[in-house]
Amino acid sequence: MSMTKEQLTTQLEELIFPMMKEKLGPMVTDAVADAIKAASSTQTPDPVQSTKQIHKDLSSLKELKETYSQGILFGKAVRALAFAKQQGGGPEMGLAVLREWGNGDIADYLETTRSKAMAAGEPTAGGFLVPDQFSQDVIEFLRPMSAVRSLNPMVLPMPTGTIRVPKITAGSSGSYIGENQNAPASQVGTGQVTLTWKKLAVLVPLSNDLVRFSSPGADAIVRDDMVRGMAERENRAFLRGTGTDSGPKGLRYWAPTGNILAATAGQALADVTADLGRCILALKENNVPMTRPAWIMAPRTEQFLATVQTTTGAFVFREEILAGRLWRYPVAVTTEVPTNLTDQGGSTESEITLVDMADAVIGESTRIFVDVSDSAAYVDSGGAVTSAFSQDQTVIRAIAEHDFAMRRDVSAMVMNGVTWA
């Protein structure tokens, strides 16, 4: 049976591309998707030429990735666009700037693939879309800096702003039956959870000297500062976001009330060990599969566990903690886990989160939107309002779009009142 163009497009987007992303990665998949889209013009495409173009695009992208370290393509593209906008130019000037800096290979790739960042939108429209392939590269660079991402949650592309994923609410059950008796119906309780774009904006002030001149160090600064800002704010949202302030709802508020446990007061080794066991038991008693369980804690808690000793001076958890694990499960450490909570009546309490990351989902836009200003004001780390113009700086604003959800609420548990230090 023949297939219409619309049916083929649907099958590619819903079946083929997700499998390619899982096996080959987002950058290769996006390059193939761009080539297919370009080949699907109103004219009858030449299949031989289309195939050659796909191979050419993949080859160019592969060469770029081998030439530049991860995320540097993003840094270079952003700086070139920033410089072009400073000079009152548009995307074409950005291409010329890259070639002037000796990065003609990047400019050629952007021009060949008709990237949205260079081919769509004028600077007066409010910014540029960084190429999907470059945006995905910097998002991957973000992974080890983000506590939740580093623990391998499920990441789904969300190109249209909203995606619905199945939510498991109850397990199936069985029954023994006698001869000639009907088996009772048994179904898995399911629902849906909807992920919707939440905008994460990061402001990065740069010296205009860094923007004007080609420098690998400047590209790395753009990449590192932007990724660091994203990681800090994303960690806070994915861990403790309430979901009521234009941001995602975090693990603390996805966990059901029955999975919020109180730590035993004090720091006695027997109590600490029992509390860790209670955390694991809380998930197992809810029939959580424990496919990819992981801990998330504050640096203070990690340090305590690495140094706690028995009465004979033996370190109890040190070997595992130094290997990044606790009771076999991976550990992520972040300062976005507070140490000044008051859940159990104190003033220096913290939390430990245990979650099966197989049930954690990040819905991700495949793009990063960038805008530039040399006259904007921003709030510095000390809380003072600073003028970019008076400091001879350029402020780069990057907007990423994503959301976070749990497919199974009981796969997350939080133990509060932790005073181990």
- HEC secondary structure over 66-109: HHCCCCHHHHHHHHHHHHHHHCCCCHHHHHHHHHHCCCHHHHHH
Position 50 scores a pLDDT of: 44
Domain locations in the chain? 5-127, 128-169+190-421
DSSP secondary structure string for all residues of 119-168 = HS--GGGT-EEEPHHHHHHHHHHHGGGSHHHHT--EEEE-TTSEEEEEEE
Domain 128-169+190-421 in CATH 3.40.50.920: no
**Axis crossing angle, helix 72-86 with helix 91-100, rounded to the nearest 10:** 120
Counting residues of the chain whose pLDDT is more than 90, the rounded percentage is 38
Q: Which of 6-20, 179-193, 282-296 has the lowest mean pLDDT?
A: 179-193
Distance, CA of 188 to CA of 183 (rounded, Å)? 16
What confidence tier does 123 reach under pLDDT thresholds 50, 70, 90?
Answer: very low
**């932790």: which residue's tokens?**
418
What confidence tier does 48 reach under pLDDT thresholds 50, 70, 90?
Answer: very low
Q: Quote the mean pLDDT of the chain.
A: 82
What tokens does 79 get?
Answer: 């700086």
| pTM (two decimals) | 0.75
Q: Distance of alpha carbon 137 from its chain centroid, rounded?
A: 11
Distance, CA of 324 to CA of 329 (rounded, Å)? 8
pLDDT tens for each residue of 321-336: 999 999 999 999 999 9
**């159990």: which residue's tokens?**
344
pLDDT tens for each residue of 100-119: 888 888 888 777 754 444 43
What confidence tier does 420 reach under pLDDT thresholds 50, 70, 90?
Answer: very high
Distance, CA of 19 to CA of 40 (rounded, Å)? 21
One-letter amino acid for residue 124 of the chain: T
SS3 411: helix
Q: What is the 3-state secondary structure (H, E, C) of 217-285?
A: HHHHHHHHHHHHHHHHHHHHHHHHCECCCCCCECHHHHCCHHHEEECCCCCCHHHHHHHHHHHHHHHHC
Let me know how long the chain is.
Answer: 421
SS3 356: strand
Q: Which carries the bigger pLDDT value, residue 87 or residue 263?
A: 263
Distance, CA of 28 to CA of 180 (rounded, Å)? 56
Position 2 scores a pLDDT of: 62
Angle at 25 between CA 239 and CA 289, to 5 degrees: 50
Distance, CA of 155 to CA of 22 (rounded, Å)? 10
Mean pLDDT of 225-251: 92
Position 126 scores a pLDDT of: 47
Distance, CA of 264 to CA of 284 (rounded, Å)? 20
Q: What is the DSSP letter of 4?
A: -
Closest CA to 334 of 268, 250, 243: 250
Question: What backbone phi and psi angles, to 5 degrees, belong to 400?
Answer: -105, 155
Give the number of C-alpha atoms closer than 13 A to the C-alpha of residue 139, restricted to the C-beta side: 28
Q: How many other CB atoms are found less than 10 A from the CB of residue 315? A: 15
Closest CA to 371 of 160, 101, 86: 86
One-letter amino acid for residue 415 of the chain: M
Position 174 scores a pLDDT of: 63
pLDDT tens for each residue of 145-194: 899 999 999 999 888 888 888 886 655 556 677 777 776 655 555 678 88
32-67 residues labelled b (16+ CB within 10 A) or e (exposed): bbbbbebbeeeeeeeeeeeeebbeebbebbeebbee
Residue 313 Ramachandran class (φ > 0 left, ψ -120 to 50 alpha, else beta): left
**């397990």: which residue's tokens?**
171
Mean pLDDT of 227-243: 92
